[in-house]
Amino acid sequence: MKTLSYLLMTTMLFIGCAKNDNPFLEAYTNEYGAPPFDKIKTEHYLPAFEEGMNRHQAEIDAIVENNEAPTFANTIEALEYSSDLLNKVSAVFFNLYSSNSNAEMEKIATEVSPKLSEHNDNLYMNEKLFVRVKTLYDSRSSLGLSAEQNRLLEDYYKGFIRSGAALNPSQKEQLRAINKALGLSEIAFGQNVLTETNAYKKVIDNKADLAGLPEGVIEAAAETATEVGMKGKWVFTTQKASFIPVLQYSENRVLRQELLMAYTQRANLNNANNNKKVINQIMKLRVQKAHLLGFESPAAFILDDTMAKTPQAVYSFLATVWKPAVARAKSEAAALQTLMTAEGKGEKLEAWDWWYYSEKLRKAKYDLDEEQLRPYFKLENVRKGVFDLASKLYGLQFKKLDKMPIYHPDVEVFEVTNADGSLIGVLYTDYFPRESKRAGAWMENITPQYKKEGKNFRPIICNVGNFTKPTAGKPSLLNMDEVETMFHEFGHALHGLLSQCTYPSQSGTNVKRDFVEMPSQIMENWCFEPLVMKSYARHYKTGEVIPDALIEKIQKAGTFNQGFTMTELLSASLLDMDYHTIKDTTVFDVNAFEKASMERYGMIPEIIVRYRSTFFNHIFTTGYSAGYYSYTWAEVLDADAYQSFVETGDIYNKERATAFRKNILEKGDSDDPMKLYRTFRGKDPNPEALLRKRGLL
């Protein structure tokens, strides 16, 4: 069972409906059960939320008022299959709130958050309902339940306990107040980050300041300038697709510094969008909630329901990777400083120099310039490569659907089927940045997979990104990080699409937070394999397959700059843990807290933590609180799992792929994740697989 903030901000889950001509009130008539995005208007949401909550409450009342003794069917399954309308509207609203928002949507989110919080609390603090659940839980060994049913019952019981069902009346009221305030604070945090991201625009009016930048980057900046009414100039933003190429290639050191600082100072400028006070409020509330529920810190509470179980286990794991990562980063920094010193400018390596001199060093060591690769990474070709990989591994087929309703012109829709033509689900892709979309990349459910009354309801999944946009003269040409991100997010999509679970709360990506990244990250292992690259990496002009010589350079440079990459990643994980092991509600200086955290672990000054506190959406809005370590833990699993393919001598090995599909992708949270992994792999994961993959051994 999930907390309200997780339901609000992470639509890998579900909830949705409401009034006369309101499309949420009617059954979706699309053959795939897709929402009629072309008919949904902003004014439909609030009435649909209200009606959805009313209907759900009536369903809960019916369960509670049932005079029959509680059974798994009349209590647990009745709860599990309730709230159709609320699920319906929530899925659409929170998907679009992340990917196509506006001021009206922000107002609705602020208005509906406390209402959903209250509705959630009314469910989990319903004493009579809890009695029915507890009665079943206490007698579970005699109910003859399947493993899947038993896990669902245990999850519901634990969900009630973690939501305050066992608290006394006074404590329950405190928790209700905390939940409402938390929901609003987390929404405010995200809105501040989006506002700050959209507000910054670096205007260049002298082309000489663009020295070193690839022509495609200059062209994109010119088009951005035209879009914002500054035709004839060049505009850069704090979207990664805009400013990262500047860090990599600009000879203008001042410009590099300005753009990196603009990105890292978002919501930290003591203006109306300041998130430092919001962070204090969020952490105060999270500490209070943890204490109410009997835990010493938010991390202790959160991790109790994960594979890791305790903060100590997470810190111990991170330490094993942090030490070799920082050691490698220091040697990388020394190499970059040598390169700078050789230029005779007397400059010291700073954070805004790392990307620029790394590109120079990569060119010198491997004769590889990432801009050489972009022409071979046309977005549509990379996506086709992702689809082809899924076809080779799992027999999936993809057909573009041109007449499906969509919520933005950038969106494309695909039918996904098995080799025999049976429906797997529907995939929406939405890849380009815009002011209405938050930064980053993610996968979301529009509808989940589940089974009911003999029917297997197939999912509708959305992959969202902020990749390099096409220009008037060129299609979208991705960099290596964007290619890897597309493979990653498609891994999440496969986890949702291939699900074969009975119950919606167990299906797809509704797994433990520190397991959810494993099915996505394993896909990254394939993306730069020579065989796979030859399936998608074709020159956008000539159609020429990427040359073997270029592939060889990519392979040789495979572990280049991994000290930087891992140090940046792990520092964010450690910062997250430090926040969530706070045990009191004392007001603190956010910047000082972050600085002390990084100094404690020996973070080198030439690297900035991947997410500064004031824009760390993962841990303050989207459900990764005390969970950012999951990316690294999942990499242990994915590296070890991929090794099982490599060991066969065939990276497309059908037997291994079938085992992965049956034991991981189809199972969702229907069983313990480590048990599922052991069944697939035949043994426990080997942590050395991660260090070997990253070249850190």
The residues annotated as belonging to the active site are 489
- Three-state SS across 651-663? CCCHHHHHHHHHH
Burial 616-627 (b: 16+ CB within 10 A, else e): bbbbbbbbbbbb
Q: Are 146 and 129 in contact (CB under 8 A)?
A: no
User: Per this entry, what is the length of the chain?
Assistant: 697
CA distances from 331 to 340, 556, 559, 560 (A): 14, 18, 14, 12
Q: Which helix (H) or strand (E) holds 279?
A: helix 276-292
CA distance 129 to 125: 8
Nearest to 537 by CA among 308, 382, 349: 382
Beta bridge partners of 103: none
Contacts of 188 (CB under 8 A, 6+ apart): 278
CA distance 424 to 614: 40
CA-based max dimension of the chain: 85
CA distance 560 to 361: 10
Q: Are 196 and 435 in contact (CB under 8 A)?
A: no
Per the listing, tokens 């509470």 go with 301
Q: Are 60 and 83 in contact (CB under 8 A)?
A: no
CA distance 45 to 25: 11
CA within 13 Å, CB half, 541: 4
Torsion angle, CA of 526/527/530/534, rounded to 10 degrees?
120
- DSSP letter at 407? S
Query: Which residue intervals of 100-231 are DSSP H helices?
Result: 103-124, 127-138, 147-162, 169-199, 215-227
Q: Are β-strands 397-400 and 234-236 bridged in parallel, bridged antiparallel, or unpaired?
A: unpaired
Q: Which tokens belong to 403?
A: 């007449």
CA distances from 274 to 269, 393, 524, 614, 642 (A): 6, 47, 36, 8, 43
Type of residue found at 330 = K
CA distance 344 to 346: 6
Beta bridge partners of 427: 414, 461
